[in-house]
Amino acid sequence: MFYSNNTIIHNLRCTVSPVGGLGSGKFRALFERELASLEQIEAIPWSAPQISGDTSLLPEGYGYQVDGITYDYNTRTYQVLFSIESQYLGDVSGYQTRVSELEATLTETNNHVNQLEDSLAEAQQEMQAVQEQVTELEGNLEVAQADVEQARENVAILAGKAVTDGTEARVLRMTIETAVISLPDDQAAQAPSLSQPWAVGEEVEPGDRRYYAPTGLLYKVREGQGHTTQESWTPDKTPAMWAVVDVTHAGTAEDPIPAAKGMDYVYGKYYSDPEDGKLYLCKRTGEEDGGTINLQYLPHELIGQYFEAVEA
């Protein structure tokens, strides 16, 4: 043996030296014929060789490309010129499995994050809706408080002093209702809510007046129509029993009378229809202005018969 043969490449001893300097990435390996045959050298898997012994010259974990193999008869050695081709990672199946697991975990985490974001967005929407409801309730509360203050002021105006006792307020209301009974229609109609409110189960006689809050109107029992009030016989639905008392409007185009089913209409006066909001003149061929007619309909239902539409 003429060489150190301290490097073992794939179980074959050889001597390795750099070609062109250590940084060139090129090497020469001398295999003595007594230690290796050409077939064994060619069988070395140079793309990922097993290297042991003196490996100081060869970078670990790299594959190589054989640039040429020659035989020197004088030294009886095979000379292999090879260079670095690429770094190999060995068996990465375990790493690949772990990467797949991590990717699956990442996907699951992303899905969970998306679900949380959706839940957060939904919660924010619900919170906004609740906040809007709170704002609306606060607004309603302010309106209610203002109404209460207005009601207290109105009571104070009626009583001539502040009234805080409920019993005193009820007595005051009864006194007012009793006093209003003696007023004529034109005066009672000035403030319809001061009259006794309509209620179910009450005996009413012709001429009795009642205030019906849903319409804000004052009604009077017609002649011969005394009865016991019933839930389904509200004044606005029984014009044959109740006549609307409204003498607070002049009946002019500028101050029309609010129309209602069952009221006594006056020829020559103007009426505003509550259903379409339009203005109508009560007029019929052969009838003189000032005459009255009781109708169970609204003006827009009797155009051309008892009413003419007035252009705005």
Domain borders along the chain are 7-87, 91-164, 185-309
Q: Which two tokens stand for residue 41?
A: 């050298």
How far is residue 82's CA from residue 106's CA, in Å, rounded to a whole number?
Answer: 43
* pLDDT at 92 (0 to 100): 53
Task: Give residue 81's Cα distance to chain centre.
Answer: 75
Assess whether pLDDT exceeds 90 at residue 306. yes
- Residue type at 65 in one-letter notation: Q
Contacts of 60 (CB under 8 A, 6+ apart): 51
Assess whether pLDDT exceeds 80 at residue 150. no
* pLDDT at 10 (0 to 100): 92
CATH architecture, domain 185-309: Ribbon (2.10)
Give the pLDDT mean for 251-258. Answer: 91
Q: Encode 25-45: b = buried (16+ Cβ within 10 Å), e = exposed.
A: bebebbbbeeebeeeebeebe
In the chain, the percentage of residues whose pLDDT exceeds 70 is 89
* pLDDT at 271 (0 to 100): 94
Assess whether pLDDT exceeds 70 at residue 229. yes
* pLDDT at 84 (0 to 100): 92
Assess whether pLDDT exceeds 80 at residue 93. no
Per-residue confidence at 26, pLDDT binned at 50, 70, 90?
very high
Provide the whole-model pTM.
0.42
Give the pLDDT mean for 101-106. Answer: 85
Cβ–Cβ under 8 Å, residues 244 and 263: yes
Assess whether pLDDT exceeds 70 at residue 151. no
Tens digit of each residue's pLDDT (9 = 90 or more) over 51-85: 999 888 888 788 999 999 999 999 999 999 999 98
Averaged pLDDT of the chain = 87
Assess whether pLDDT exceeds 90 at residue 165. no
Give the pLDDT mean for 119-147. Answer: 85
Residue 289 phi/psi, 5° resolution?
A: -60, 140
Report the range of poorest mean pLDDT among 66-70, 135-139, 272-276: 135-139
Cβ–Cβ under 8 Å, residues 266 and 292: yes
Q: Give the residue, 20 or 311, on which the prediction is more confident.
A: 20
For residue 192, with 0-12 CB atoms within 10 Å meaning exposed, 13-18 middle and 19 or more buried, which class applies?
Answer: buried
Assess whether pLDDT exceeds 80 at residue 149. no
How far is residue 16's CA from residue 54's CA, in Å, rounded to a whole number?
Answer: 9
Cβ–Cβ under 8 Å, residues 215 and 239: no
Cβ–Cβ under 8 Å, residues 38 and 7: no
* pLDDT at 57 (0 to 100): 86
Residue 260 phi/psi, 5° resolution?
A: -150, 145
Task: Give residue 56's Cα distance to chain centre.
Answer: 71
Per-residue confidence at 12, pLDDT binned at 50, 70, 90?
very high
Tens digit of each residue's pLDDT (9 = 90 or more) over 114-125: 998 898 898 899
How far is residue 269's CA from residue 259's CA, in Å, rounded to a whole number?
Answer: 11
Tens digit of each residue's pLDDT (9 = 90 or more) over 172-228: 778 888 888 888 887 888 888 899 999 999 999 999 999 999 988 899 999 999 999
Cβ–Cβ under 8 Å, residues 246 and 257: yes
Written in H, E and C, the secondary structure of the chain is CCCCCCEEECCEEEEEEECCCHHHCEEEEEEECCCCCHHHHHCCCCCCCCEEECCCCCCCCEEEEEEEEEEECCCCEEEEEEEEEEECCCCCHHHHHHHHHHHHHHHHHHHHHHHHHHHHHHHHHHHHHHHHHHHHHHHHHHHHHHHHHHHHHHHHHHHCCCCCCHHHHHHHHHHHHHHHHCCCHHHHCCCHHHCCECCCCCEECCCCEEEECCCCEEEEECCCCCEECCCCCCHHHCCCCEEEECCCCCCCCCCCEECCCCCEEECCCEEECCCCCCEEEECCCCCCCCCEEECCCCHHHCECCCEEECCC
Assess whether pLDDT exceeds 90 at residue 263. no
Give me the residue label for tokens 């849903």. Answer: 214
